[in-house]
């Protein structure tokens, strides 16, 4: 009798263990699938949102400054490698002033229209590649697509002439696009990709500066640009950046821009893009403030409001009335303080409103 009971218990335990193992397996599979879906969603979102570039059309400055014969090449390379075309134009401008530098060889040995280090072009595993990457590479190797492939270089034979030549314009532009793409630009990490090209923040800023000049306004969010937050005026009384503190301290960094004009008190404030309100209420310095998260690390803040017409947690559409211009918080007069943050870092809102004349 005892034995029978024991066997019964053992059988039960065995079934129980199987059940637990099975449950754990299913659980792991579910978690795996969830992460997979999240990952895919993040990828999709990233490709839809391109900050300041995207499908933006060429600006008047771009038309005036970029030699027009290069534009179709930038655009073809941009499409092939999924990077913004104006970044390629800006790189070309900064590296060789649109190929007007003579000779197109830098003091450290960077070569061609887009100033590649020879080892980056041919691949860093090429024998003798080290240091800054000048190497000691015979030209016949440098431009040989098979050798570039073997050593994992970025050189591309874009015009199909059998050579991948940094001194050939098309090859150089396509190679640059490939480099930026592989270094993060195609997944939205444009600054990181430019930094990889040349490890200097001032270089990155210079490239971004030209890139922004070359397109007409636009943070592109799901294909929509930011709209101006008050219809009443586009007058800016205090821009983004360092300024004298209106409260008598020596100087401060103004994290946004102030929009004001006589008669602005109580005028309607509009959401500059679709998003979700992450905070609506009083906050130190800001007075009554609304913070909207637009996704992908992009956030807008509207300060010193007299009235708030939305709530924390609410979804808002672009152009929706969210409040009224006021004088609450640390403010010396009726104005709207508009702040745009990217990954919590305040950026100059005017970079995204180039169509507005001020
Ligand atoms: Zn302000």
Report pLDDT digits (tens) over 59-101: 777 888 899 999 999 999 998 998 889 999 999 999 999 999 9
Residue with tokens 């999924």: 82
Q: Is the pLDDT of residue 246 over 70?
A: no
Q: Ligand 1 mean position to 262 CA, how many Å?
A: 17
Q: Ligand 1 mean position to 317 CA, how many Å?
A: 24
Nearest CA to 258 out of 309, 303, 318 is that of 303
Count of C-beta atoms within a 10 Å radius of residue 160: 9
DSSP 98: T
Q: Is the pLDDT of residue 250 over 70?
A: no
Q: What is the mean pLDDT of the chain?
A: 83
Segment 21-33, tens digit of pLDDT: 667 677 766 666 6
Q: Give the three-class secondary structure for 55.
A: coil
Q: How far is CA 209 from CA 94, 182, 323, 348, in A?
A: 10, 22, 33, 12
Res 220: pLDDT: 39
Segment 104-145, tens digit of pLDDT: 999 889 999 999 999 999 999 999 999 989 999 999 999 999
351 vs 46, residue with greater confidence? 351
pLDDT tier at 268, thresholds 50, 70, 90: very high
pLDDT tier at 50, thresholds 50, 70, 90: very low
Res 227: pLDDT: 80
For residues 227-233, give the mean pLDDT: 83
The CATH code of the domain at 60-213 is: 1.10.530.10
Q: Ligand 1 mean position to 245 CA, how many Å?
A: 11
As residues whose CB is below 5 A from the ion ligand 1, the structure lists: 256, 258, 337
CATH fold for domain 236-352 = Glucose Permease (Domain IIA) (2.70.70)
For residues 6-25, give the mean pLDDT: 59
Q: Which pair of structure tokens corresponds to residue 15?
A: 């079934």
Q: Ligand 1 mean position to 347 CA, how many Å?
A: 13
- Domain ranges for the chain, please list them: 1-48, 60-213, 236-352
Q: Ligand 1 mean position to 179 CA, how many Å?
A: 39
Which H or E run contains 351? Answer: none
Q: Is the pLDDT of residue 45 over 50?
A: no
Q: Ligand 1 mean position to 188 CA, how many Å?
A: 29
Q: Ligand 1 mean position to 241 CA, how many Å?
A: 10
Q: Is the pLDDT of residue 47 over 50?
A: no
Q: Ligand 1 mean position to 25 CA, how many Å?
A: 54
Q: Ligand 1 mean position to 166 CA, how many Å?
A: 47
Calculate the CA 269 to chain-centre distance.
Answer: 26
Segment 188-225, tens digit of pLDDT: 788 899 999 999 999 998 898 888 778 765 433 333 46
DSSP 9: H
Res 174: pLDDT: 98
For residues 158-171, give the mean pLDDT: 97
Give strand ranges (E) for 209-351: 236-238, 241-243, 252-254, 257-259, 268-270, 275-283, 287-295, 298-305, 307-308, 315-316, 321-324, 336-342, 345-347
Res 157: pLDDT: 98
Q: Ligand 1 mean position to 315 CA, how many Å?
A: 25
Q: Ligand 1 mean position to 333 CA, how many Å?
A: 11
Query: Range with the lowest mean pLDDT among 26-30, 265-269, 319-323?
Result: 26-30
Res 16: pLDDT: 63
Q: Ligand 1 mean position to 255 CA, how many Å?
A: 7
Q: Ligand 1 mean position to 336 CA, how many Å?
A: 7
């Amino acid at each position: 009798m005892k034995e029978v009971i024991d066997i019964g218990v053992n059988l039960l335990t065995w079934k129980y263990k199987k059940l637990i193992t099975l449950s754990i397996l299913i659980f792991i599979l579910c978690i795996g699938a969830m992460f997979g879906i999240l990952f895919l969603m993040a990828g999709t979102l990233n490709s839809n949102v391109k900050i300041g570039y995207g499908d933006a059309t060429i600006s008047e400055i771009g038309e005036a400054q970029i030699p027009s014969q290069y534009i179709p090449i930038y655009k073809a390379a941009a499409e092939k490698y999924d990077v913004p075309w104006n970044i390629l134009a800006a790189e070309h401008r900064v590296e060789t002033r649109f190929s007007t530098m003579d000779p197109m060889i830098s003091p450290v040995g960077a070569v061609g229209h887009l100033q590649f280090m020879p080892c980056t072009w041919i691949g860093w595993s090429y024998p003798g590649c080290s240091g800054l990457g000048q190497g000691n590479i015979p030209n016949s190797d440098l431009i040989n697509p098979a050798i570039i492939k073997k050593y994992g270089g970025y050189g591309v034979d874009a015009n199909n002439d059998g050579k991948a030549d940094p001194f050939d314009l098309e090859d150089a532009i396509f190679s640059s696009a490939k480099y930026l793409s592989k270094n993060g630009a195609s997944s939205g990490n444009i600054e990181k990709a430019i930094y990889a090209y040349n490890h200097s923040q001032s270089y990155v800023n210079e490239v971004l500066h030209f890139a922004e000049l070359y397109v007409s306004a636009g943070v592109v969010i799901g294909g929509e640009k930011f709209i101006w937050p008050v219809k009443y005026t586009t007058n800016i009384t205090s821009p983004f950046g360092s300024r004298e503190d209106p409260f008598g301290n020596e100087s401060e960094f103004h994290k946004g821009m102030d929009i004001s004009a006589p008669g602005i008190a109580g005028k309607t404030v509009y959401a500059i893009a679709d998003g979700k309100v992450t905070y609506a209420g009083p906050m130190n310095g800001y007075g009554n403030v609304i913070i909207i998260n637009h996704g992908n690390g992009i956030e807008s803040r509207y300060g010193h409001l007299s009235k708030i017409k939305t709530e924390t947690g609410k979804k808002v559409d672009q152009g929706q009335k969210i409040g009224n211009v006021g004088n609450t918080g640390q403010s010396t007069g009726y104005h709207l303080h508009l702040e745009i943050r990217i990954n919590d870092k305040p950026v100059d809102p005017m970079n995204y409103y180039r169509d507005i004349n001020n």
